[in-house]
Structure 1
Amino acid sequence: MLFGFSFMGLTTAFTTYGIAANTSHGVVPGAMIIATMVMMFTAYSYGKMAVAFPSSGSAYVYTQKSLNPAAGFLVGWVILMDYLFMPMVNYLAFGIFFSAAFPAIPNYVWIAGMLILVTFINVRGLKFATSINAFITIFAFLFILIFIGFSIKEIFMEAGTAALLSFEPFFNLNESFTYTIAGAALLCFCFLGFESVTAFSEETVNPKKTIPRAVIIITIGGGLIFTCVSYFSHLIWPNYLTFNNSEAAAYEIIKHVGGKAMYSVYLALYAFAVLGSAMASQASASRVLFTMGRDGQFPKKFFGVLHHKYKTPVNNIMLISCFSLLALFLSLELVASFINFGAFLAYTCVNIAVIAHYYIRKRERSLKGTILYLIIPAIGAALDILLLVNLDVHSKILGASWLLIGCIYLFRLTKGFKEQPPVLKIEDNYDMDLKDRNAYKGNGQTSLT
């Protein structure tokens, strides 16, 4: 849960508020509720597949085992686009924001410093990183509670108790509902990372119960927190057209509510949130690479090995860190455009994998089974496809280019599609109990092997 919340970043509700307000024409809380409902369908499917295949490969493994190895490889390839570029987004945002706040220090110093810190923490292992994430998540949650408390005080002093309850943030009869839907599509970005915890199935005690619960709690919890933040932000600043800068709307709202002191606290929180998100995304990416390397999808001697002491995929962590150095040369807009394409494509395949595994292969075709394993995941897949086709043209072009590169590599790996790509062999580990998993612990941490 800590990794999932850190990957998503609880402060995302602040940083996206102004842009979402413009897109939804001021109905951010209503759009956030719709986004939460949409993501719940996919969260449900991730939970079901985590029960069937408790492996660190996440969407890659689910598709490989339920559909076919080639589809699994391509899903692993596109989800890597998310995991590889998400740390870079954090580094870029951190560099842009803090170089603006402290212009005497160059942008590249902030980027390089955060990158080194994240890499060091992840090399040390999941247990150490979880301790850091616990602090970051608790700090972010406390700040949100303080913000809500100050907001209630501000609203009460200006308009009285009655103003605290309003349906206006959820509905705007003077605007088309299509704006709310557009806002919901944008705000699904806030939830990216809820599925990241499935990459830690092999480092989690009793993953068949723990992982599905964590995925659902992260999605619901994130949705509630994001909705509360956007609701009180709307009450504090109801006219979204009066922001001086929509991208910096959160700063204007926070200053209005708590003054410079709260703004300073938010600066510190933002730094911690970037650290947590970059750390979680880098850790997840390294484990997906490890699983694909262990399978032989990538060279096993490099990607499929662990550090002898920390039991972490150090080679993959260092490779991702080197890749993230591109943040010194690329723009935030270009990098961010990659992310949604890979996410929605992978989410679609996970929903389809539920149908293939449970409804078709296991023949769960009773009334209950039809609802749970056909109708619900089919709705989730349809919603994900809808969001995918409505992405901007840059996202689709860049995403399709990345997918084409993956197809070319797969063509070479399978000798012109004449052979099946290597397949993950984990069936013998599915029913591993707590005693078995404890046998894999090393240096106080659970080993990926």
Structure 2
Amino acid sequence: MSTTPISRTGAAPEATHALRRSLSLPQIVFLGLAYMAPMAVFDTFGIVAQVSEGHVPLSYLLIFVAVAITAWAYSRMVRVYPRAGSAYTYTRESINPHVGFVVGWAATLDYLLLPMINALLSSIYMTVAFPEIPAWVWIIGTIVICTGINLAGVRLAAQVNTALVVIQIVTAVAFVVLTVKNIADGANGAAFSFTPFLAAPEQFSGVASGAAILALSFLGFDAVTTLSEEARNPRRDIPRAIFLIVAAAGVFFVSVTYVMQVLFPDVSLVGDIVGASPEMARYIGGALFQALFIGGYMVAVLGCGITQQMSAARLLYAMGRDEVLPRKVFARLNAKGVPSANLILIGVLAATAVFLDLFQAASLINFGAFVAFTFVNLSVIATWLRFRRDSAAKSIIGWVVVPAIGAIVNVVLWFSLEPSAMLIGAIWTAVGFVYLLWRTRLFRAAPPALTGPLDVEREERTGV
């Protein structure tokens, strides 16, 4: 095992061109919120309402439980391994480097495709307002702006995102207020009830399928762990950011979809299922509010796109630095400490959004997400088995029982994904495994040296 010294903040000594520690806790939280985009609640509402038979809030509650447990696992692992790479790093260090690569490869599916689906959504919403403009114009324009801001440096991206998140929240709150007013006025025959949370047994599979799609709404908490080497105090701030992001998003998503579902119990009446939210905005506030809503959504697209590219680039950087991907390509940083080649590559991949279908794309993205979530939970258990093994009840519950439940829930949701997404995800993973066999000469080559975990409890007791 490598004896590379670790600093009090958990980072290895920085090279000349290294990721720079410049992010505070508020900046990390806003980057995470921007990644998941508060207005992302509107992206898949129509699709999930149809799949869950009018139980979107219940689907959100189900995925919230899975995410909350998984967030606990992430908070544990980021304190023990406070480095870039997220699920790839945790699995690599705690279970096996080769397994870590396969998990990282699967996770790249959602990291690489999220900027793509984000660009697709920008074209869907803007086409509602400007049907005469080709969709590819909005897709390419979104990608160019997001890539340019990221190339300018992480601090600028963080500052821009803070403003963009505030605008999104104001827009979403206005949507909720107008929706509540319509319900209070009895529009569409609506009345407040618990119906959106009550599903018959035969509807549960649809609710679970809806929850599986909605996992992408919470990916911001996972994404901030890739910023561990750019946080000023990663072992303190990243876990705090994870819980703040998950809690805020859970309350927000459930509340917003509840009033939307109450007002529109049958979303098919809106017309366009994919573009349901802009049509709802027009119904509750007229053409002017629809225009403002679409403008707020485009702000969300930019904020989301910036952080999605940022996180994906850091994951590729971590894998390149460990030489499981070509180091000369993926581990290069420019003078500003930015993995510019990775950002450009992700931007080029995102441009293929012109060929995507929203439903299949959302399911495909979540294939990698559920693989990552499952193995982060398993990594907590593996860390306990390999490095701790203390018999205290508190330790067993926190390091074994809770992550075991999280792994099981995520596997169940993983199998609820759309079949074609499962097939494509399996093919992608198989390609990664074949690449691993070639890269390691059928596992004859030694894997990268492991750094090992930090002794969190010992350091907190002794200050060493």
TM-score relative to the length of structure 1: 0.89
Q: Which residue of 2 aligns with 1:127?
A: 155
- Say whether 1:218 aligns with 2:242: no
Amino acid at match of 2:112: L
- Is the alpha carbon distance of 1:255 and 1:346 closer, same or farther for their aligned partners in structure 2, counting shifts above 3 Å? same
CA separation of 1:332 and 1:365: change in aligned 2, threshold 3 A = same
* Match runs of 1:77-92 below 5 Å: 77-92=105-120
Output the CA distance in 2 between the equivalents of 1:421 and 1:73: 10
The correspondence for 1:315, drawn from 338, 341, 362, is 341
| Shift in alpha-carbon separation, 1:176–1:389, aligned structure 2, 3 A | closer
Residue 244 (1) aligns with residue 306 (2): no
Question: For 2:191 and 2:131, how far apart are their aligned partners in 1?
Answer: 41
Quote the residue 1:369 is aligned against.
395
Aligned residue number for residue 354 of structure 1: 380
How big is the shift at 1:221? 1.0
1:156 paired residue number: 184
Asked if 1:388 corresponds to 2:388, the answer is no
Task: Name the counterpart of 2:71.
Answer: 43
Q: Distance in 2 between matches of 1:256 and 1:128?
A: 37
Corresponding letter in the other structure for 2:403: P
**In the superposition, relative to structure 1, how do residues 134 and 291 fare at CA in structure 2: closer, same or farther (>3 Å)?**
same
Code of the aligned partner of 2:339: P
What displacement does 1:396 show? 1.3
Q: Which moved more, 1:241-250 or 1:317-326?
A: 241-250
Say if 2:47 is the partner of 1:19. Answer: yes
**1:133 Cα offset (Å):** 0.9
Structure 1 window deviating more from structure 2 (241-250 vs 57-66): it is 241-250
Asked if 1:342 corresponds to 2:378, the answer is no
Q: Does 1:270 align with 2:273?
A: no
| Cα distance, 1:328 vs structure 2 | 4.2
Q: Distance in 1 between matches of 2:98 and 2:277?
A: 44
Q: Aligned Cα RMSD in Å?
A: 2.4
Structure 1 residues 396-405 or 87-96, which shifts more?
87-96
Which amino acid in 1 is paired with 2:373?
Y
- CA drift of 1:424 comes to 5.4
- Aligned residues of 1:295 and 1:424 also touching (Cα < 8 A): no
Q: Secondary structure at the match of 1:391?
A: coil
On the 8 A contact 2:208/2:413 being kept in 1, the answer is no
TM-score (norm 2): 0.86
In structure 2, C-alpha distance between the alignment counterparts of 1:97 and 1:284, rounded to whole Å:
24
AA at the equivalent of 1:246: I
One-letter amino acid matched to 2:248: G
Relative to 1, partners in 2 of residues 1:383 and 1:272: Cα closer, same or farther, differing over 3 Å? same
Q: Which residue of 2 aligns with 1:445?
A: none
Contact 1:236-1:253 at 8 Å conserved across structures: no
Q: Does 1:235 align with 2:235?
A: no
> Is the alpha carbon distance of 1:388 and 1:427 closer, same or farther for their aligned partners in structure 2, counting shifts above 3 Å?
closer
Are 1:147 and 2:175 matched, yes or no?
Answer: yes
Separation in structure 2 between the aligned mates of residue 256 and residue 180 of structure 1, nearest angstrom: 26
Q: 412-421 or 74-83, which moves further after superposition?
A: 412-421
Q: 8 Å contact 1:150–1:258 — kept in the other structure?
A: yes
Identity of aligned residues (%): 36
Write the deviation string for residues 358-409 of structure 1: whole angstroms up to 9, x where unpaired.
2442113321111111110001101111111222221111111111111111
Query: Secondary structure of the equivalent of 2:389?
Result: coil
Amino acid in structure 2 at the alignment position of 1:14: F
Letter in 2 for 1:82: D
Q: Where does residue 109 of structure 1 map in the other structure? A: 137
CA distance in 2, matches of 1:33, 1:328: 32
Give the stretch that moved more between structures: 23-32 or 66-75: 23-32
**2:405 equivalent to 1:379:** yes
**Which residue of 2 is the match for residue 437 of structure 1?**
none
Aligned to 1:407: 433
**Equivalent residue, structure 2, for 1:447:** none
Alignment match of 1:421 (pick from 426, 447, 459):
447
Matched, 1:187 2:214: yes
Report the CA distance shift for 1:31/1:332 in structure 2 as closer, same or farther (over 3 A). closer
Correspondences of 1:428-439 after superposition (within 5 Å): none
Q: CA deviation at 1:28?
A: 1.8
2:127–2:135 Cα contact (<8 Å) kept: yes
2: CA distance, partners of 1:156 / 1:104: 37
Amino acid at match of 1:72: G
Q: Do structure 1's residue 72 and structure 2's residue 100 form an aligned pair?
A: yes
Give the count of matched residue pairs: 428
Q: Contact between 1:155 and 1:236, CA under 8 Å: does it hold in 2?
A: yes
Q: Does the residue aligned with 2:445 lie in a helix, a strand or coil? A: coil
What amino acid does structure 1 have at the position aligned with 2:286? G
Quick one: structure 1 residues 293 and 182, their matched pair in 2 at CA, closer, same or farther if it must change by over 3 Å?
closer
The equivalent residue for 1:62 is 90
Q: Give the secondary structure class of the aligned counterpart of 2:229.
A: helix
* Cα distance in 2, alignment partners of residues 428 and 180 from structure 1: 40
Residues 179 and 109 of structure 1, relative CA distance in 2, 3 Å threshold: closer
Structure 1 portions without partners, runs of 5+: 434-449
Q: Where does the alignment leave 5 or more consecutive residues of structure 2 unmatched?
A: 1-28, 460-464
- Are 1:111 and 1:327, in contact at CA under 8 Å, matched by a contact in 2? yes
Residue 208 of structure 1 corresponds to which residue in structure 2?
A: 235
Deviations 1:229-260 (A, max 9, x none): 11111232234453323323322322222121
